Amino acid sequence: AQSVTQPDIHITVSEGASLELRCNYSYGATPYLFWYVQSPGQGLQLLLKYFSGDTLVQGIKGFEAEFKRSQSSFNLRKPSVHWSDAAEYFCAVGARHSGGFKTIFGAGTRLFVKA
């Protein structure tokens, strides 16, 4: 079964600073990897996904993530954080199971942005 670890429960960065959110996964085969963002009281919005091909994927809102198979990681990055990026970020891994496809989420990292 697949699993996801987000080591940082919360992170604080200054507005304009760079950001990296860590994600490690466990899965025996090629994983399908996702990052979602959740604002308070809202659902989850897909930021980006990796299925195959180029290991550096671009997403919405200026985010990108890099798949590193050797490290079982899929870290999310943004070069310059805006105050509106304050939210909770979830890494997820999808995998095929008998009869379908299951997506499992990490515990999330809450991002605080200070002026």
Partner 1 sequence: NAGVMQNPRHLVRRRGQEARLRCSPMKGHSHVYWYRQLPEEGLKFMVYLQKENIIDESGMPKERFSAEFPKEGPSILRIQQVVRGDSAAYFCASSPMPGRTGNTIYFGEGSWLTVV
Among 61, 82, 102, 114, binds partner 1 (CB under 8 A): 102
Instruction: Report if residue 43 touches partner 1, rule: CB under 8 A.
Output: yes
Angle at 69 between CA 11 and CA 90, to 5 degrees: 30
CA nearest 90: which of 74, 102, 78, 79?
74
Stretch of 20-28, 62-70, 73-81, 100-108 lying at the interface with partner 1 (CB under 8 A): 100-108
Site string for partner 1, 67-96 (x = CB under 8 A): -----------------------x---x-x
Among 36, 63, 67, 74, binds partner 1 (CB under 8 A): 36
**Residues near 28 by beta carbon (within 8 Å), at least 6 away in sequence:** none
Instruction: Report if residue 100 touches partner 1, rule: CB under 8 A.
Output: yes
CA dist., res. 96 & res. 32, Å (int): 9
Q: Which helix (H) or strand (E) holds 56?
A: strand 56-58
**What does the binding site for partner 1 look like in residue numbers (CB under 8 A)?**
32, 34, 36, 42-46, 49, 51-52, 90, 94, 96-97, 99-108
